[in-house]
């Protein structure tokens, strides 16, 4: 396995770095625009063809793929942490559950105070469940992951069917006002938005910090976990299987990685492109949006994620300044994830520049390269002098109930 040090696997760092950069490129829409804009580029007023094309590009190339990679890497890294803790004489289960408990608390703070799109709480709680499955054979990990995907798909098919029934009732001749209102209420805020709903959102996010935070739903993290748990656990188990097989560590042959990259990206990309076209052709019909994101799109997202991972592994075979920069972003992924959301909310929320809802999709996305450059610029110089990223250090210190050494020790001068 390619490593930068005895305890670093560079393929994992590079994949994680690319994943966290890609995640921000879709998160920025959730931070800067009304909620429905994430799934429906025609929801915001004043959209144009360029906004729809940018949505399609993000949908086909990034959305769901980077989150899948990040979730798989979380499962792989979990195995590494537990194994290394046990090898050093510590109790692996205790180290893991302390880390997950602290991550859950940080995730709750992130959700309630910074941004509602938090994944940290979901990862922490799912990681606790994944611990009990970590010793399964690769074949069994894949089997359980498949069953979890079936659970996730079945739930969303049921929701889409119920949504279609509401839509049919609202569109039927002689539909009552209550039936039409039920359809609007069922889609408002995620697939469509009335002018009143959108205006209320803009007012909320541009409000002063204290007023906005005091209006956050306390039960939001629970509902997010309930909705995401089966898929997230399945992806973590896939990550464990991929790590144990040597796939994520770079142990396979170049020819094998090349085949996976070509077929995974080609087939997955073609499938996602067809789904994007279907959504666009349907005028972003809500039941189809739900099915495309959470049912039909899952196998294509997985194919692309595995194809991306294989391609990245091949690229890490060659050392270079860009590989090292991206690997540093991955080593400080926790900090880069949190800092990008903090800075993003300072730009778009009240208490900062309050630009929420003021820019279209294209202009919002122009911030993305700036954030990518910032991640690449600071991560490596910081890690050249310090052992951890700032939030990685905080997480580790809280988990171990002791301040961890931060600055790297300098080598002794030659005699």
The string of pLDDT tens digits covering residues 89-126 is 999 999 999 999 999 999 999 999 999 999 999 999 99
Calpha distance 175→177 (Å, rounded): 7
Q: Rounded to an integer, what distance in angstroms lies between the CA atom of residue 28 and that of residue 327?
A: 22
pLDDT in tens, 253-269: 999 999 999 999 999 99
Confidence of residue 5 (pLDDT cuts 50, 70, 90): very low
CB 354 within 8 A of CB 364: no
pTM: 0.95
**Share of residues in the chain with pLDDT > 90 (%):** 93
Residues 322-340, mean pLDDT to the nearest whole number: 97
409 pLDDT above the threshold of 90: no
| Residue 223 pLDDT greater than 90, yes or no | yes
Q: Which helix (H) or strand (E) holds 385?
A: helix 367-385
In this structure, the number of other CB atoms found within 10 A of the CB of residue 67 comes to 22
Contact 73, 16 (CB under 8 A): yes
Q: Average pLDDT of 351-380? A: 97
Instruction: Identify the CA nearest to 375 among candidates 327, 408, 308, 316.
Output: 327
State mean pLDDT over 146-172: 97
Rounded Cα gap, residues 414 and 33, in angstroms: 57
Across 290-394, the runs of DSSP E, i.e. the strands, are none
The answer to whether 291 and 157 have CB atoms below 8 angstroms apart is: yes
Q: What are the tokens at 224?
A: 């997010």
The answer, yes or no, to whether residue 128 has pLDDT greater than 60, is yes
Q: Which helix (H) or strand (E) holds 8?
A: strand 8-9
> What pairs with residue 3 in β-bridges?
9
- CA–CA dist 250, 38 (Å, integer): 34
Crossing angle of the two packed helices 321-331 and 367-385, in degrees rounded to 10: 90
pLDDT of 6 = 44
Q: Tell me which residue of 76, 75, 62, 74 sits closest to 334, measured CA to CA.
A: 74
* Average pLDDT over all residues of the chain: 95
DSSP 170-234: HHSTT--HHHHHHHHHHHBTTTB--HHHHHHHHHHHHS-HHHHHTTS-TTHHHHHHHHHHHHHHH
Give yes or no for a contact between 7 and 247, defined as CB atoms under 8 angstroms apart: no
- Give the end-to-end CA distance of the chain in Å, rounded to a whole number: 35
Question: Using CA atoms, how far apart are residues 322 and 328, in angstroms rounded to an integer?
Answer: 10
């Amino acid at each position: 396995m390619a490593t930068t040090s005895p305890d670093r696997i560079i393929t994992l760092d590079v994949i994680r770095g690319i994943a966290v950069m890609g995640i921000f490129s879709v998160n920025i829409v959730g931070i800067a625009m009304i909620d429905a804009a994430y799934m429906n580029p025609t929801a915001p007023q004043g959209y144009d063809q360029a906004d729809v094309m940018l949505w399609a590009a993000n949908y086909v190339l990034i959305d769901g793929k980077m989150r899948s990679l990040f979730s798989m890497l979380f499962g792989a890294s979990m195995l590494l942490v537990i194994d290394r803790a046990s090898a050093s004489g510590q109790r692996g289960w205790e180290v893991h559950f302390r880390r997950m408990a602290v991550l859950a608390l940080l995730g709750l703070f992130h959700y309630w105070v910074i941004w509602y799109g938090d994944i940290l709480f979901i990862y922490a709680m799912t990681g606790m469940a994944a611990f009990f499955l970590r010793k399964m054979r690769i074949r069994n990990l894949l089997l359980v992951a498949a069953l979890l995907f079936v659970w996730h798909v079945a739930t969303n098919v049921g929701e889409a069917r119920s949504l279609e029934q509401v839509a049919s009732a609202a569109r039927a001749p002689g539909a009552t006002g209550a039936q039409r209102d039920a359809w609007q209420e069922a889609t408002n805020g995620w697939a469509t938005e009335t002018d009143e709903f959108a205006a209320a959102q803009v007012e909320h996010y541009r409000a002063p910090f204290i007023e906005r935070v005091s209006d956050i739903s306390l039960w939001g993290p629970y509902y997010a976990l309930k909705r995401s748990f089966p898929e997230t656990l399945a992806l973590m188990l896939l990550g464990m299987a991929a790590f144990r097989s040597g796939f994520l560590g770079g142990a396979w042959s170049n020819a094998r990685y090349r085949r996976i990259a070509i077929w995974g990206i080609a087939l997955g990309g073609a499938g996602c492109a067809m789904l994007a076209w279907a959504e666009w052709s349907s005028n972003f019909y809500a039941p189809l949006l739900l099915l495309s994101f959470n049912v039909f799109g899952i196998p294509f997202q997985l194919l692309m994620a595995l194809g991306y991972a294989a391609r990245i592994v091949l690229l890490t075979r060659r050392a270079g300044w860009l590989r090292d920069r991206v690997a540093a972003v991955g080593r400080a992924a926790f900090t880069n994830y949190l800092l990008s959301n903090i800075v993003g909310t300072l730009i778009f929320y009240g208490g900062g520049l309050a630009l929420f809802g003021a820019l279209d999709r294209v202009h919002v996305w122009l911030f993305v390269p700036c954030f990518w450059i910032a991640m690449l610029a600071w991560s490596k110089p910081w890690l050249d002098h310090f052992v951890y990223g700032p939030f990685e250090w905080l997480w580790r210190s809280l988990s171990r109930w002791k301040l961890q050494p931060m600055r790297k020790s300098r080598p002794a001068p030659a005699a």
